């Protein structure tokens, strides 16, 4: 009988989480049976047909409603009181210190009871979650209720900003193994678990599929500008980027830029564009499909992402895989991928002067040199972020640990 793995995510599919979809599909190509579960849906944001297909393959725990949650909670308490009270004690312990409070963790316990019944019906061997937040809490509580083992992938920066608030040490303790997406991420996890638990932590990179690597090299278009791909949120550095573009504009250096994405800061970003009178240089596209993102990247001379907080952005991998150099910041796992002077530029996060200087240096570089940078970036991504290879590492971990009894 083949090993059945459940993937559990807070929201799935999601516009900014195409890397999870790629990982699941790559695992299925390797013969694993993957069942998709999520706490809730965000179907209103979906624009990509591949995501819409995943939507139809996913079961949503909160779709059972309040009555379903309470029924599952009661049935589990009656059927397995010892496991139930152990899980209840853990929910109280973690919830007491958390930012969301005890009530939310009792809800997570009810969600874990629903998940437990679904996993048993599906004969699931192991649960894997992405991000060490709500969904991993549910996976942990489900395991303590007597459910299958679990593992989770940590990305950052959210997990490291709120370690105690999300109960990360407990999640590390109860997990069968833990995935870090970069060496930096692994080092941060080392801080929050005992030395004898370090062996649980493995690096598996997020990856790209063959559709990126099989594309022939595309020349950088004449008179092309910059592209910035990502949610319009406080951590991506859009305000600083606009200030840099404005400074250069005042010097007579006019570099067009396209913001691909949407988010809570869009109104303020639009106001700042108007304040700087940059309407002719800056365009915001809103959400885009994967194919549209690729087209925007290929139409640019460089991808810029001046982030203040990150894990390791998949869009940087995508840009380099399409042979476009990158301007980004010296934070988290980014320096493990972008090599200054080789495949792009890195600047201190928050430094307007350095960001302006990097963009000006880019503008002064020849197209030939930029294309050489893109080639070197392509080689680095092909070596370290091929989803077929990375999914193979994950499949090996599932095979090694998923069926073990603690």
Fold agreement between 4-207+386-401 and 212-384: yes
Tell me the three state secondary structure of residue 226.
Answer: strand
The β-bridge partners of 347 are 329
Q: Which CATH architecture has domain 4-207+386-401?
A: 3-Layer(aba) Sandwich (3.40)
Kindly report whether the peptide bond that precedes residue 157 is cis, defined as omega within 30 degrees of 0: yes
Amino acid 67: pLDDT: 98
pLDDT per residue as tens, the chain (406 positions): 467 999 999 999 987 788 999 999 999 999 999 999 999 988 777 778 888 899 999 999 999 999 999 999 999 999 999 999 999 999 999 999 888 889 999 999 999 999 999 999 999 999 999 999 999 999 999 999 999 999 999 999 999 999 999 999 999 999 999 999 999 999 999 999 999 999 999 999 999 998 889 889 999 998 899 999 999 999 999 999 999 999 999 999 999 999 999 999 999 999 999 999 999 999 999 999 888 999 999 999 999 999 999 999 999 999 999 999 999 999 999 999 999 999 999 999 999 999 999 999 999 999 999 999 999 999 999 999 999 999 999 999 999 987 654 4
Give yes or no for a contact between 302 and 370, defined as CB atoms under 8 angstroms apart: yes
253 CA to centre of own chain: 34
The residue assigned the tokens 């139930």 is: 84
Which secondary structure element, helix H or strand E, spans residue 90, and what is its range? helix 81-97
pLDDT at residue 99, rounded to an integer? 81
Residue linked to tokens 């549209």: 292
The per-residue pLDDT for 405 is: 40
Q: Look at residue 403 in the predicted model and tell me its pLDDT.
A: 60
The ranges assigned to domains in the chain are 4-207+386-401, 212-384
Helix/strand/coil percent split, the chain, to 5: 55, 15, 30
What are all long-range contacts of 244-251, with beta carbons under 8 Å and residues at least 24 apart?
244/306, 244/352, 244/355, 244/356, 244/359, 245/276, 245/278, 245/281, 245/282, 245/359, 246/276, 246/278, 247/352, 247/356, 248/356, 248/359, 248/360, 248/363, 249/276, 249/278, 249/281
**Does domain 212-384 bear CATH number 3.40.50.2000?**
yes
In this prediction the pTM is 0.91
In sequence order, what are the residues at sequence separation of 6 or more whose Cβ sits closer than 8 angstroms to the Cβ of residue 252?
none
Residue 2's pLDDT is 60
């Amino acid at each position: 009988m083949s090993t059945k793995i459940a993937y559990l995510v807070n929201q799935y599919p999601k516009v900014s989480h195409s890397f999870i979809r790629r990982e699941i599909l790559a695992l299925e190509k390797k013969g694993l049976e993957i069942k998709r579960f999520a706490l809730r849906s965000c179907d209103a944001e979906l624009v990509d047909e591949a995501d819409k297909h995943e939507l139809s393959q996913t079961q949503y725990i909160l779709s059972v409603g309040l009555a379903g949650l309470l029924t599952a909670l009661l049935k589990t308490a009656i059927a397995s009181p010892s496991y139930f009270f152990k899980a209840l004690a853990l929910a109280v312990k973690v919830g007491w210190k958390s930012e969301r409070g005890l009530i939310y963790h009792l809800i997570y316990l009810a969600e874990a009871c629903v998940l437990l019944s679904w996993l048993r019906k599906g004969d699931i061997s192991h649960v894997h979650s992405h991000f060490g937040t709500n969904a991993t809490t549910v996976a942990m509580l489900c395991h303590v209720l007597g459910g299958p083992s679990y593992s989770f992938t940590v990305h950052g920066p959210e997990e490291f900003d709120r370690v105690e608030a999300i109960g990360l040490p407990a999640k590390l303790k109860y997990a069968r193994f833990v995935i870090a997406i970069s060496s930096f991420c692994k080092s941060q996890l080392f801080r929050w678990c005992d030395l004898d638990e370090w062996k649980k932590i493995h690096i598996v990179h997020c990856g790209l599929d063959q559709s990126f690597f099989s594309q022939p090299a595309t020349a950088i278009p004449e008179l092309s500008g910059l592209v910035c791909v990502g949610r319009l949120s406080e951590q991506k550095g859009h305000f600083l980027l606009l200030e840099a573009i404005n400074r250069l504009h005042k010097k007579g250096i006019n570099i067009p830029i396209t913001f691909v994405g949407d988010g809570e800061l869009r109104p303020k970003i639009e106001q700042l564009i108007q304040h700087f009178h940059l309407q002719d240089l800056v365009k915001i596209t809103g959400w885009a499909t994967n194919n549209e993102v690729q087209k925007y990247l290929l139409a640019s001379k460089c991808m810029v992402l001046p982030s203040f907080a990150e894990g390791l952005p998949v869009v940087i991998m995508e840009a380099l895989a399409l042979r476009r150099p990158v301007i980004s910041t010296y934070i988290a796992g980014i320096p493990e991928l972008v090599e200054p002077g080789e495949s792009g530029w890195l600047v201190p996060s928050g430094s307007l002067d350095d960001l302006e200087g990097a963009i000006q240096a880019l503008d002064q570089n020849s197209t030939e040199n930029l294309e050489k940078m893109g080639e070197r970036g392509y080689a680095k991504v092909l070596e370290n972020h091929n989803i077929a290879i990375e999914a193979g590492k994950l499949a090996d971990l599932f095979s090694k640990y998923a069926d073990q009894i603690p």
